Structure 1
Amino acid sequence: MSKRVINHRLRPSVLRTRGAVVAAGIGAVMVVGAGAGVASADAGKTAVANPATAVVAQGNTQVKAVKAAAVKAVKAAAVKAGKAKPAKKAVAWVKPVTGYTLSASFNQGGAMWSHKHSGQDFAVPVGTQVKAAHGGVVVKAGPNGGGDGSAYGNAIVIEHANGQYSQYAHLSKIDVGVGQTVKTGQDIARSGNTGNSSGPHLHFEIRTTPNYGSAVNPVAFLRAAGVTV
Structure 2
Amino acid sequence: MPPLHILQIDASARSGRSGVDPRGSHTRRLTHRFAERWQAARPQDTLTYRDVGQQPPSPASGDWIAAAFTRPERRNKAAQAQLAESDVLVAELLRADLIVIGAPMYNFGLPAQLKAWVDNVVRVGVTFGFDRSRQGEPYWPMLPPGKRLVILSSRGDYGYGAGGRLEAINLVERGLSVPMAYLGLTETHSIAIEYDEFADERLRASISTAEAAVDELVGKLARDVAETQGRALELT
TM-score (norm 1): 0.21
TM-score by length of 2: 0.20
Q: Which has the higher helix share?
A: 2
